[in-house]
Amino acid sequence: MEIGLVPSSNSMMKSTSLGGANPSLITRQTLITQETRTDPKSETDPVLDTDHALRLSMSLSNNRIDPCTASRTPLLPVSIPHSVEVEDVGVGDGTTLAISTTVLSREKSHHNCDPNVLFIDLLRDKISSHTRNCSHSGSVQSSPKLLAQILSTLISSNLPTPQNVFPNSRDLPLFYEPVSRIVKDDFLKGNSAHLGGEVYIYLINLGPQSHPYAYSYGGDGGGDSSSPSFTRCLGSVWTGKERYIWIDLAAGPVNYGPALSGDGVLPRGEFHPLAAVHGPPKSEKVVLADLASLIWSAYQVLLVPSLRIPVTLEKTLVVQFIHVYGSEEKDLRGLNWDNIERTFMDEAHDGGLLLKDQTLRFRTYHVNYNVCPVCSFAISRATNSYTSRFFFQNYTLIVSEYLDSKRLHQTLQESDDELKRAAGILDQEEDFGRVIPVYVFDLDYNRHLMLDRYHQSVAFKDMVIAVRTRSSQTVSDYNCNGRHVITQTRELERPIVGSILQSTWGVSPTHLVWSSRHNSTMVDYTWSVGQTPFGPFSETSSLSFVQRDAARRNVLLTTLNYTITSAIEVLESISAHGGDRHLLKQGQHVVFVERWNLLKYKLDKAVSALSHSDFEMASYFIRSSDHDLFAIHALIYQASQELEATFTCFKDPPFPWASVAMLSFGFVAFFYVYARRDRIFRSKRKQF
């Protein structure tokens, strides 16, 4: 099933087809093909070396630009299609296509196609919100062979005995890896090329088993998974490093989310779409509605996640680990810098996170908290307290402390130079590119001290702040498997990985999504289990395709947004000067139309490449469009400097004799009536 953001009739995707009859498009295609071979990084402007006949043909397709509509029609709306293939593994038969398509259509129209793919609440006042149009088409495919393989694998894996079930949980923990391996093999076998960039969602329904089960993601599925000191949350979904997601509808129903109340609570029992096949028998339309809702949720959160912050394209990214330790000896258990660095470098070497000419570096520094006055001042200034009520034999108020992340961030910003001197950081490193400092406060305190009461690490657009104390565990306000989640406060590797993703690449957590209908960020923990470095329910620090694609997509979307905004500003400037015909001379106008057509063509190709997840080609076209945009800016500036101010003199209007005569006559008549008012308006009095 293809679920896409499809362009409207005048959108950019329509112009990417050569059509065979338009010579200007063929000419542009020839020029771009030559440029990709000779200059793959688009460091030079190819138009400067193009002969006159070729440049003239590129300016014939559009000789007139309407300044009143040009800022809206050629560049907006920006529509980036995304394709989703839904693999029906034992869920239903081919007759479900019509109903599922109808339900999905209603689901998408109900959400009104939120324009949140590019921008969320942090950016809504800074970045233009380009509109999009939605459409969908496709099919549901059945894979009985894959279903047989999964069933045989589950039977051979032997479900654990009921004695190994988690406390307060009725589900047996089944390790996810065998199912994931078979799904991955099917995905790679059937989609070896991956040219379209489609994402495959496998809906699996294995039918009833001997005992209810759910998937375990930590370790090998055994070990200390049932220990009350460690929380191993069970789930029924998995996102792979390749572009596939599988959802086992027969597993569970699982239960995880806030313990009592709050945003993101998952309904218990069969009321969540993940439990569509559980509970009392439901009609086919109800089941399909739940499945459509589940696919739409995955589409919003995983396939087109919201952009956390704007991230510009930098060739060099430097992550500085600044370890502020308070004990006599540095205890790096739970804070292995090599593991954090390896997580990102492995992804970079596998072609994820970074574009081709980008580099990622890591630096480590250590600062003794006891000899760093700025560090102790920052902690003391950010320390706040709160009270909690607990019922033992009677209600008791307990005072606890926490760190205000915003105040700590402000103090670190103000003391940036002193912290660099204390850590021995050279100023020359900032010349390499974008630098993200990661401040880790490893305090020698025996009490709990977390950021904003709940977080081990908090991401800002210019830094990451993490904190831990000597206390090793705390009970969080979340639950799974029927009990509270135990947070290992000494383990900082996974929270730091998630925060670096947010600060460096603007990757949004898998439990947050921007909703234009609510005009705020919504919380949904449905996809916070499995392979994700975000949220309290997952244990893995590895990245899936969701984070790998979002990191590169966010950089390109930010750059594309800046390019379109700058082009709109140029059109508004032309409109302010009376239009292109009035501002530009004949020779300048030919060059302008040539450059404008090239700019639109390259942006069309960039959007097409983004829709196919071809990030390298999209990066090339966006960079190449900067040459045309710069040439247009220079041309408009030069033409505006050549404008001459003129004054048109006019004669004074003739004296209005007729108006003056009429006004004079009116005044004379008024005074005449006023002077003779007694005689004109006299009344007869009664005579006595």
Question: Mean of the pLDDT values across residues 220-236?
Answer: 64
Q: Which residues, at least 6 apart from 338, have a Cβ–Cβ distance to it below 8 Å? A: none
Q: pLDDT band for position 93 (50/70/90)?
A: very low
| Residue 433 to residue 344: CA distance in whole angstroms | 17
Q: What DSSP line would sit under 550-603, residue for residue?
A: HHHHHHHHHHHHHHHHHHHHHHHHHHHTT-HHHHS-HHHHHHHHHHHHHHHHHH
Spatial contact of 418 and 374, defined as CB atoms under 8 Å apart: yes
| Residue 202 to residue 291: CA distance in whole angstroms | 11
Spatial contact of 97 and 284, defined as CB atoms under 8 Å apart: no
Spatial contact of 352 and 377, defined as CB atoms under 8 Å apart: no
What pLDDT score does 575 carry?
85
pLDDT tens digit string along 335-388?
999 999 999 999 998 888 999 889 999 999 999 999 999 999 999 999 999 887
Q: What is the mean pLDDT of the chain?
A: 77
Lowest mean pLDDT among 123-127, 313-317, 327-331, 485-489: 123-127
What sign does the dihedral 459-235-248-351 (CA atoms) show? positive
Percent of the chain at pLDDT > 90 equals 26
Query: Is the model more confident about 238 or about 93?
Result: 238
pLDDT tens digit string along 408-458?
999 999 999 999 999 888 776 666 689 999 999 999 998 889 999 889 999
End-to-end CA distance of the chain: 109
| Residue 610 to residue 3: CA distance in whole angstroms | 15
| Cis-peptide into 77, omega within 30 deg | yes
What pLDDT score does 270 carry?
64
Neighbours of 82 (CB within 10 A): 20
Q: Rg of the chain over CA atoms, in angstroms? A: 33
Q: pLDDT band for position 580 (50/70/90)?
A: confident
CA angle at residue 24 from 22 to 29, to 5 degrees? 100
pLDDT tens digit string along 97-142?
443 444 445 444 443 443 333 322 222 232 233 333 333 334 445 4
Distances (CA, A) of 57 to 29, 634, 644: 12, 22, 32
Lowest mean pLDDT among 176-180, 387-391, 635-639: 387-391
Question: Mean of the pLDDT values across residues 554-562?
Answer: 93
pLDDT tens digit string along 19-72?
344 555 555 666 666 666 666 676 777 666 565 555 555 555 544 555 444 444
Lowest mean pLDDT among 96-110, 496-510, 656-670: 96-110
What pLDDT score does 491 carry?
92
| Residue 305 to residue 299: CA distance in whole angstroms | 8
Lowest mean pLDDT among 88-97, 363-372, 522-531, 647-656: 88-97
Helix (H, G, I), strand (E, B) or coil at 142: strand
Strands laid side by side in the 359-368 sheet: 359-368, 316-325, 434-442, 464-468, 457-459
What pLDDT score does 615 carry?
92
pLDDT tens digit string along 276-285?
788 788 888 8
Query: Is the model more confident about 651 or about 182?
Result: 182
pLDDT tens digit string along 260-272?
666 666 666 667 7
Which amino acid does the sequence have at 209?
A: Q
What pLDDT score does 133 carry?
36
Spatial contact of 252 and 258, defined as CB atoms under 8 Å apart: no
Q: What's CA 278's distance to the chain center, in Å?
A: 33
| Residue 225 to residue 215: CA distance in whole angstroms | 12
User: Any idea which residue has 């600060």 for tokens?
Assistant: 503
| Residue 504 to residue 459: CA distance in whole angstroms | 9
| Residue 509 to residue 56: CA distance in whole angstroms | 49
What pLDDT score does 21 carry?
45
| Residue 230 to residue 496: CA distance in whole angstroms | 20
| Residue 220 to residue 176: CA distance in whole angstroms | 9
